[in-house]
């Protein structure tokens, strides 16, 4: 797996704090844990200097005391680099990457709506995907949120019945 | 230049309807497009966490009814990778066969929809009639016309006989003949070329920057196709061309899709010829060991990606789904810049969005912030009439295609 | 029934106008509804026409479970239809929420929001089932027992060329 080893070597060479944080799962799949304060640099280097020109998606998930964010980046030859970073739930602040990948704005909005992340530098715009009348401070993808928590918050209760 | 309001609205102007696309006009040209999405947000990712992996296969299939096999295969691939399952070769080939048949039905569907959006309704009738032959094949092979339920963890749920596969080949022969005619129509009829050229322009650089995938991207020479770049299923052993075009517009998107149909027919023949014998499933564990996987799939609309994290139980920890339309919607705003209002329906249809996105309200805004709403159907009719005034009329072409019998 | 309402009922049975509305579906049912218009199934030979606006429609054909965002709009569309009006829930999701039951953002089937006259199950409901369901709904208008189909005269379509030649 020469290709994957070369990618790992370049990342570790440029960012020594990533040594033993990079795992080659199989051909064309690398996973790396990046500390939040150095995330931007690593991400930018991968996107601009290592040909990871395609952002497939950003996954956010509830990881106990933290929120975990995974940025899935791909090269045109099919190699996917999955960069993971965390932010504590007490202050789930991350920086936007929409200056590098404008198409990523919709994934960042999802992180805000569904997990309660705070994305610094996110361009203004309508929320996605939750409706405008969604109650505040309810983040569906957090593990402690249950659909029952929405009960009784509907507003318009009466139904239209035809005579 | 003064900005103008379009006072079109079949609903009562006082009612605030939630709009999907909000178009700001400068005269007749579009200066800005905004999107308000989320109507189809059903909370599937959360629901997946409360269901077992097997139940999730059926739920994920219904993320989108047109490329249901794409989503379910992308999902099971990821789970099988985490569990370290090696599925039998015959199962791989069966999944690939269904995948390519799905591409055929989806592109034929798109051709009909595109025809409908520009007023070329005979094309809709003819392509959907051809599509019915493919739907019959699906019903015969899998038991359902849509949402085939072929996948299970560890393989596929049904096997095919030699007779069934021979039937598939017969249908493909007929479809290929008819598709050749559609290629002629799309690439040589002046009315079609004039109507579709120059609309929804998206440069190669913008397409790359905005993460455009699938035929929409390939029409702007974005050389991405997961089947070739990140091979999955049986694609390593199959030969096919990735269709690229550099028109950068709706015309290019049509050309890419009809040529992809021809490639799919070839692929289907190759898959059937090479299909190995053997079992179609291996036993899969109920509890999937802790781990994670990122799976990609080239759905008819483009790259579909799923991320799954397993935690050792029979329910997933996290299922993340990104359908191709979501990636392509980002480029719609750029595409429609400086187009005419009349171009909105076909430009949006050309990225092949899920149908439900097109059954929405479109909001028209002016610089003063006031505006009105227009239904998609009314905007389509407006577009057809507008182009008729410019001399692009499909009446003759409709007649000509109708004359050409079986 | 008065003479006027008999005439209105006759007119509606002869040519019901339908509006199709997607309330958050996966599109499979929507495609099957549109497929029922194509030559293979050809719902138009029963005089059933797909209209764009609720103001002229007799029958509201819904697909999909009702999501939070779409709920208000569904009610609006229903309110804009003139009386008498009928609602057909196409597909298991419209009938009961289907596979999305229990998902946040999904309220349930169509009948949690507006009254439904006919339920057509299926995932998706096939075009044959859709035509069958609509025919049974029209049957109820003719005073038939529930589940009996209407007596509908099929309109034999003239060959397309002949029609084009006639219309010039």
- Would the CB atoms of A147 and C75 count as touching at under 8 Å? no
CA–CA–CA angle C36, C133, C83 (5° rounding): 100
CB C53 within 8 A of CB C79: no
Q: What is the pLDDT along chain A (163 residues), one digit of tens a residue?
A: 889 999 999 999 999 999 999 999 999 999 999 999 999 999 999 999 999 999 999 999 999 999 999 999 999 999 999 999 999 999 999 999 999 999 999 999 999 999 999 999 999 988 888 888 889 999 999 999 988 887 654 433 333 333 3
End-to-end alpha-carbon separation of chain B, Å?
Answer: 53
Map tokens 């789970």 to a residue.
B79
More confident residue, B8 or B185: B185
Contacts with B109 from chain C: Cβ below 8 Å: 31
- Would the CB atoms of B224 and A76 count as touching at under 8 Å? yes
- Would the CB atoms of B125 and C105 count as touching at under 8 Å? no
CB B10 within 8 A of CB C53: yes
Q: pLDDT value at position C71?
A: 85
- Positive/negative CA dihedral, B60, A56, A102, B328: negative
* Cα of B15 to nearest chain C Cα, Å: 9
**Separation between Cα atoms, residue C63 and residue B60, nearest integer Å:** 18
Question: Would you give the DSSP letter of residue C163?
Answer: H
Closest by Cβ to A150, choosing from C83, C85, C104: C104
Interface test with chain C among A133, A146, A160, by most C beta carbons within 10 Å: A160
* Domains recognised in chain A with CATH numbers: 2-150 (3.30.460.80)
User: Tens of pLDDT along B392-404?
Assistant: 898 888 888 887 7
Question: Would you give the DSSP letter of residue C126?
Answer: P
> Among candidates C26, A129, C33, C74, which has minimal Cα distance to B354?
C26
A130 shares contact with chain C (CB less than 8 Å): yes
The three state secondary structure string of chain B is CCCCCCCCCCCCCCCCCCCCEEEEEECCEEEEEEECCCCCCCCHHHHHHCCCHHHHHHHHHCCCCCCHHHHHHHHHHHHHHHHCCCCCHHHHHHHHHHHHHHHHHHHHHHHHHHHHHHCCHHHHHHHHHHHHHHHHHHHHHHCCCCCCCCEECCEECCCCCHHHHHHHHHHHHHHHHHHHHHHHHHHHCHHHHHHHCCCCCCCHHHHHHCCCCHHHHHCCCCCCCHHHHCCCCCHHHCCCCCCCCCCCCHHHHHHHHHHHHHHHHHHHHHHHHHCCCCCCECCCCCCCCCEEEEEEEEECCEEEEEEEEECCCCCCCEEEEECHHHHHHCCHHHHHCCCEHHHHHHHHHCCCCCHHHHCCEEEEECCCCCEEEEEHHHHHHHHHHHHHHCCCCCHHHHHHHHHCCC
Please give the residue of chain B at the shortest CA–CA distance from A82: B294
Here the tokens at position B229 are 């770049």
**Separation between Cα atoms, residue C122 and residue C33, nearest integer Å:** 12
Closest by Cβ to A102, choosing from B209, B296, B303: B209
**Separation between Cα atoms, residue B88 and residue B149, nearest integer Å:** 18
Give the DSSP H or E segment for A94.
Answer: strand A93-95
Query: Mean pLDDT, to the nearest integer, of B305-331?
Result: 92
A74 shares contact with chain B (CB less than 8 Å): yes
Contacts of A163 (CB under 8 A, 6+ apart): none
Give the DSSP H or E segment for C9.
Answer: helix C3-14
Which residues of chain C are under the pLDDT cut of 50?
1, 157-168
For residue B54, CA distances in Å to A61, B87, B179, C90, C108 come to 22, 16, 37, 26, 23
- Would the CB atoms of B15 and C104 count as touching at under 8 Å? no
The CATH superfamily assigned to B44-323 is Cytochrome-c3 Hydrogenase, chain B (1.10.645.10)
**Separation between Cα atoms, residue C128 and residue C136, nearest integer Å:** 12
User: What is the crossing angle of helices A39-49 and A2-14, to 10°?
Assistant: 130
Contacts of B345 (CB under 8 A, 6+ apart): B117, B118, B358, B376, B379, B380, B383
Q: Please, where are the H alpha helices in C36-141?
A: 68-80, 92-96, 127-141
Query: Mean pLDDT, to the nearest integer, of B79-88?
Result: 96
Contacts of B8 (CB under 8 A, 6+ apart): B364, B372, B374, B378, B382
Q: Which residues numbered 3-62 in A keep a CB inside 8 Å of some CB on B?
A: 25-26, 28-29, 31, 53-57, 59, 61
User: Tens of pLDDT along B50-66?
Assistant: 999 999 999 999 888 88
Q: pLDDT value at position B381?
A: 86
Closest by Cβ to A147, choosing from C83, C104, C113: C104
Q: pLDDT value at position B64?
A: 84
Query: Mean pLDDT, to the nearest integer, of B171-177?
Result: 95
Q: How many CB pairs under 8 A join B and C?
A: 126
Interface test with chain B among A32, A54, A58, by most B beta carbons within 10 Å: A54
Please give the residue of chain C at the shortest CA–CA distance from B106: C31
Map tokens 């038939």 to a residue.
C144
- Would the CB atoms of C72 and A156 count as touching at under 8 Å? yes
Residues in chain B: 406
Question: Would you give the DSSP letter of residue A79?
Answer: -
- Would the CB atoms of B307 and A31 count as touching at under 8 Å? no
Largest CA distance in chain C: 56
**Separation between Cα atoms, residue B223 and residue B396, nearest integer Å:** 37
Q: pLDDT value at position A125?
A: 86
User: Tens of pLDDT along B1-38?
Assistant: 444 433 322 233 333 445 577 788 888 788 888 777 77
Give the DSSP H or E segment for A56.
Answer: strand A54-63
Q: pLDDT value at position A111?
A: 95
End-to-end alpha-carbon separation of chain C, Å?
Answer: 43
Contacts of B404 (CB under 8 A, 6+ apart): B181
Map tokens 């370049």 to a residue.
A10
- Would the CB atoms of A159 and C113 count as touching at under 8 Å? yes
Here the tokens at position B264 are 């799919």
CA–CA–CA angle B74, B79, B80 (5° rounding): 95
Interface test with chain A among B16, B34, B37, B38, by most A beta carbons within 10 Å: B38
What is the CA B175 to chain-centroid distance, rounded? Answer: 19
**Using a CB cutoff of 8 Å and minimum separation of 24, what contacts does C128-136 make?**
C128/C41, C130/C32, C130/C33, C130/C36, C130/C43, C130/C61, C130/C90, C131/C36, C131/C41, C131/C43, C131/C46, C133/C88, C133/C90, C134/C16, C134/C18, C134/C43, C134/C46, C134/C48, C134/C59, C134/C61, C134/C88, C135/C46
**Separation between Cα atoms, residue B156 and residue B138, nearest integer Å:** 14
Closest by Cβ to B211, choosing from A55, A70, A82: A55
Q: What is the pTM of this model?
A: 0.89
The residue ranges of every structural domain in chain B are 21-40+328-403, 44-323
For residue B152, CA distances in Å to B78, B92, B388, C101 come to 12, 12, 51, 22
Please give the residue of chain B at the shortest CA–CA distance from A24: B293
CB B122 within 8 A of CB B115: yes
Contacts with B208 from chain A: Cβ below 8 Å: 53-54
Query: Mean pLDDT, to the nearest integer, of B163-177?
Result: 95
Query: Mean pLDDT, to the nearest integer, of B335-345?
Result: 88
Residue B361: pLDDT band (50, 70, 90) is low
Q: Which of B92-106, B184-198, B252-266, C142-156 has the lowest mean pLDDT?
A: C142-156
User: Tens of pLDDT along B128-151?
Assistant: 888 999 999 999 999 999 889 999
Give yes or no for residue B189 having a pLDDT over 70.
yes
**Separation between Cα atoms, residue C126 and residue C29, nearest integer Å:** 8
- Of all residues in chain B, what percent carry a pLDDT higher than 90? 61
Please give the residue of chain A at the shortest CA–CA distance from B227: A78
- Would the CB atoms of A129 and B37 count as touching at under 8 Å? yes
Please give the residue of chain A at the shortest CA–CA distance from C104: A147
Q: Rg of chain B's alpha carbons, rounded to an integer?
A: 22
Interface test with chain B among A59, A82, A126, by most B beta carbons within 10 Å: A59
B58 shares contact with chain A (CB less than 8 Å): no
Binding partners of C (≥3 Cβ pairs within 8 A) = A, B
ipTM of the complex: 0.91
Please give the residue of chain A at the shortest CA–CA distance from C82: A162
* Domains recognised in chain C with CATH numbers: 3-167 (3.40.50.12280)
Closest by Cβ to A160, choosing from C68, C69, C75: C75
B325 shares contact with chain A (CB less than 8 Å): no
CB B287 within 8 A of CB B266: no
Q: pLDDT value at position C165?
A: 47
């Amino acid at each position: 797996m020469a290709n994957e080893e070369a990618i790992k070597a370049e990342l570790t060479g440029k960012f020594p704090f990533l040594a033993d944080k990079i795992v080659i799962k199989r051909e064309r799949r690398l996973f790396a844990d990046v500390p939040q304060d150095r995330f931007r640099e690593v991400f930018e280097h991968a996107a601009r200097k290592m040909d990871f020109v395609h952002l497939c998606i950003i996954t956010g998930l509830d990881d106990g005391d933290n929120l975990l964010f995974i940025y899935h980046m791909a090269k045109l030859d099919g190699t996917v680099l999955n960069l993971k970073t965390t932010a504590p739930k007490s202050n789930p602040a991350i920086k936007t990457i929409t200056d590098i990948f404008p198409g990523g704005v919709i994934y960042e909005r999802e992180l805000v709506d569904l997990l309660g992340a705070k994305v610094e530098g996110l361009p203004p715009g309508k929320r996605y995907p939750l409706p405008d009348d969604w109650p505040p401070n309810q983040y569906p993808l957090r593990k402690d949120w249950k659909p029952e928590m929405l009960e009784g918050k509907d507003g318009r209760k009466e139904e239209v019945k035809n005579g | 230049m003064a900005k103008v309001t379009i006072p079109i609205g079949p609903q009562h102007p006082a009612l605030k309807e939630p709009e999907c696309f909000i178009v700001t006009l400068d005269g007749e040209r579009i200066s800005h497009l905004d999107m308000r999405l989320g109507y189809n947000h059903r909370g599937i990712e959360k629901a997946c966490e409360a269901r077992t992996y097997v139940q999730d296969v059926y739920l994920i299939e219904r993320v989108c009814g047109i490329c249901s096999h794409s989503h379910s295969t992308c999902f099971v691939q990821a789970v099988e990778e985490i569990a370290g399952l090696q599925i039998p070769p015959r199962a791989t080939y069966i999944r690939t066969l269904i995948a390519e048949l799905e591409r055929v039905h989806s592109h034929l569907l798109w051709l009909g929809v595109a025809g409908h959006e520009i007023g070329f309704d005979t094309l809709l009738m003819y392509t959907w009639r051809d599509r019915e032959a493919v739907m019959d094949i699906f019903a015969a092979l899998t038991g359902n016309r849509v949402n085939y339920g072929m996948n299970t963890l560890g393989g596929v749920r049904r096997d095919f006989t030699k007779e069934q596969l021979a039937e598939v080949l017969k249908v493909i022969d007929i479809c290929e003949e008819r598709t050749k005619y559609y290629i002629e129509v799309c690439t040589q009829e002046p009315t079609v070329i004039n109507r579709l050229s120059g609309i929804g322009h998206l440069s190669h650089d913008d397409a790359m920057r905005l993460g455009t995938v699938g035929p929409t991207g390939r029409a702007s020479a974005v050389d991405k196709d997961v089947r070739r770049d990140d091979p999955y299923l049986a694609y390593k052993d199959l030969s096919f061309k990735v269709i690229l075009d550099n028109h950068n517009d709706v015309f290019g998107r049509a050309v890419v899709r009809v040529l992809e149909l021809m490639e799919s027919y070839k692929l289907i023949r190759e898959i059937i010829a090479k299909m190995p014998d053997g079992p179609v499933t291996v036993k899969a564990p109920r509890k999937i060991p802790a781990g994670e996987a990122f799976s990609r799939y080239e759905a008819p609309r483009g790259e579909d990606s799923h991320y799954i994290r397993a935690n050792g139980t029979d329910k997933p920890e996290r299922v993340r789904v990104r359908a191709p339309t979501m990636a392509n919607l980002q480029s719609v705003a750029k595409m429609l810049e400086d187009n005419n209002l009349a171009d909105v329906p076909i430009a949006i249809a050309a990225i092949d969005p899920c149908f439900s996105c097109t059954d929405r309200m479109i909001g028209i805004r002016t610089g003063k912030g006031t505006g009105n709403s227009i239904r998609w159907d009314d905007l389509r009719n407006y577009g057809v009439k507008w182009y008729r005034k410019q001399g692009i009329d499909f009446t003759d072409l409709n007649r000509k295609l109708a004359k050409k019998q079986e | 029934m008065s003479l006027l309402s008999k005439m209105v009922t006759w007119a509606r049975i002869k040519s019901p106008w339908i509006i199709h509305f997607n309330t958050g579906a996966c599109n499979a049912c929507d495609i099957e509804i549109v497929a029922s218009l194509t030559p293979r199934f050809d719902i138009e030979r029963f005089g059933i026409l797909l209209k764009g606006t609720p103001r002229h429609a007799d029958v509201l054909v819904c697909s999909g479970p009702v999501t939070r965002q779409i709920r208000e709009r569904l009610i609006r569309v229903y309110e804009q239809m003139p009386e008498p009006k009928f609602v057909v829930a196409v597909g298991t999701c419209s009938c009961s929420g289907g596979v999305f039951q229990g998902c946040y953002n999904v309220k349930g089937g169509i009948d949690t929001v507006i009254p439904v006259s006919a339920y057509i199950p299926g995932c998706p409901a096939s075009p044959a089932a859709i035509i069958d369901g609509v025919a049974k709904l029209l049957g109820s208008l003719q005073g038939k027992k529930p589940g009996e189909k209407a007596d509908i005269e099929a309109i034999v379509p003239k060959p397309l060329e002949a029609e084009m030649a006639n219309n010039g």
